[in-house]
Structure 1
Amino acid sequence: MRRRPPVLRIAAAVLLPALAVWTVAIEPRWVAARVEPLSSAQWQAPAGLKVAMAGDWHLTTRSAWRITSVERAARIVDEINAAQPDVILLPGDFLAGSGDDEDLSIEEMAAVLGRLKAPQGVYAVLGNHDWWHDGERTAHALSAEGIRVLENASMRLPDHDIWVVGIGDDSTGHSQPDKALAGVPKGVATLVMMHDPFSFSAMPPTRGLVVAAHTHGGQISVPGYGALVVPGRAPREWAHGWIAHKDRRMYVTSGLGVSILPVRFNMRPEWVMFQ
């Protein structure tokens, strides 16, 4: 039996532990503040308008495993506020876990995110984890902190003829794109957010920005292949970044937290500024 050359054994002994440290201890906590274009070929945004988006927070008391402690989330809130967005979109999954497996209360989570400030408003939709905890209680807690929860609903920005639209979560059966857009005047620009990107496939055409969360970018993205796994019904190719579908496009965020396993590789957590 041929023995592996010593240099390969040494390389494996060094690289494998280093990779484990990177994927568990470093990259899940290395948040990117990305800047992306707000305007597109179909729509020219008002000059200077800035829209921040931050999804999949997964706040927790168990930060060694689930990453996003209250203190960590507060620092991200401060960073977003310092960037002075005009509008903030929060596309769901605010608490980690699925119910009684998380000690942080819904109200404590909402108090942290309630510190987000934007002159044109902070808007949210609920994700699958929010429904698993208690969707109605989560919506009430966020609303009490000044965050406008748009579950298959829309509203006009105070100072622009632009409408913010929230589409409910697909994986928990709350997605109703037609209902969400029903109150939007024909032809106006929209900022559409959804938790699960699969809703994009059934969404009527719009003019403006579309964003989604839920996938975490797969958490692990293999170079040359992409995400290993994408939750929900969206195609694997919709894991992260700009997605093209029927001459329309959507941005899917990698999110801020983690789910199931506390790992990330080649897929940093992020919040995004569209400007």
Structure 2
Amino acid sequence: MTRRNRWRLAFGFFLVALAAWSVLLEPRWIARREQRVEVAQPAPARSLRVAVASDWHLSLRPLWRVTTVERARALVDEINAAQPDLVVLPGDFIADRDFHSEDGRPASEVIAAELGRLRAPLGVVAVLGNHDWWHDGQAFTDAFRRHGITVLENAAQPLPGTAWWIAGVGDDSTGHADPAKAVRAVPKGAPVLVVMHDPAAFARLPRIHGFALAAHTHGGQVYLPFIGAPVVPGAAPRAWAYGWIAHGDNRLYVTSGVGVSILPLRFNMRPEWVLFTLAPPREIAK
């Protein structure tokens, strides 16, 4: 074998290994990440643990869309085992329009029943994503509410027993986002967690005392060294693909989500669910 052929063979093995990693392994390797967020709160204040899991994209096609009902069930069990105070679901629960259960239930009912097993003392709060609206947004809203999940559409509510409020912004890419309306009821100076599906709505969010969460981008699914995500869906800047974002006085965390869309691959951008600890600022030792 010539030297050139050996290089060709090695390069071929590399491409096969890269494809196997990106299609078969990384999309199914869900990370549990932890983030601490310090926000000034009225005394007495306590820390809250908030679990965030977005972009499930449930499907009946495990090789193409990854997240089946069985995989979702295991992730629900994992989140419940962490014992969060609150669970937040920032949209895109379905992947395919051809999602039909064997017992004839609509997709919205099957998905709501599974996610309705999530348990937290302060409840489970969701906003809808573009895929949910493309399928049947009202059906998802109704099914979620039947299964104990609160859906916030440009609205806010207090978290009982805490100083915090939670607000939900409608999906931007389907024309449902009204960030100003979403936080209108929040008292001035009250800490608020603002949940949106598409980070594009973050640019129009009024100044808040707290922080925001978004999803939708999947971190680009492919995140290249020195380049970042080559492609980001929606109108948000490409730099807003993943992680902590600052805009004016507001800050936003964009999660990579737990599923995939368009193509069943990820590279250097693991799926994730995030456990946030919302805490009063640490005292500075004298």
Instruction: Give the TM bin, normalised by the shorter chain.
Output: over 0.9
2:206 is matched with which residue: 204, 207, 221? 204
Q: Calculate percent identity across the aligned residue pairs.
A: 58
Q: Within 5 Å, which residues of 2 pair with 1:21-100?
A: 21-40=20-39, 43=40, 46-97=45-96, 99=97
Q: Which residue of 2 aligns with 1:119?
A: 121
Q: Which residue of 2 aligns with 1:103?
A: 100
SS in 2 for 1:140: helix
Matches of 2:267 and 2:25, distance apart in 1: 10
Once the 2 structures are TM-superposed, how far is the Cα of residue 7 of structure 1 from its aligned partner? 3.7
1:260 is matched with which residue: 241, 259, 262? 262
Distance 1:44 1:23, change over 3 A: farther
The question of 1:158 aligning with 2:160 is answered yes
Amino acid at match of 1:262: P
Q: Which runs of 5+ in 2 are unaligned?
A: 102-106, 278-286
TM-score, normalised on structure 2? 0.91
SS in 1 for 2:185: coil
Once the 2 structures are TM-superposed, how far is the Cα of residue 44 of structure 1 from its aligned partner? 5.5
TM-score, normalised on structure 1? 0.94
Matches of 1:8 and 1:234, distance apart in 2: 41
Amino acid at match of 1:244: A
Q: Which residue of 2 aligns with 1:139?
A: 141
Q: Check whether the contact 1:60–1:103 (CA below 8 A) recurs between aligned residues.
A: no
Matches of 1:161 and 1:247, distance apart in 2: 20
Count of residues in Structure 1 that have an aligned counterpart in Structure 2:
269
Matches of 2:6 and 2:226, distance apart in 1: 27
SS in 2 for 1:159: coil
Once the 2 structures are TM-superposed, how far is the Cα of residue 273 of structure 1 from its aligned partner? 0.5
Deviations 1:127-157 (A, max 9, x none): 0000001001100000111000000011110
Q: Which runs of 5+ in 1 are unaligned?
A: none
SS in 2 for 1:258: coil
Matches of 2:78 and 2:265, distance apart in 1: 23
Deviations 1:80-117 (A, max 9, x none): 111111011110001112x3x33351100000100011
SS in 2 for 1:226: coil
2:185 is matched with which residue: 176, 183, 195? 183
SS in 2 for 1:148: strand
Q: Which residue of 1 aligns with 2:241?
A: 239
Q: Which residue of 2 aligns with 1:14?
A: 13
Matches of 2:16 and 2:31, distance apart in 1: 24
Matches of 2:269 and 2:41, distance apart in 1: 30
Amino acid at match of 2:12: A
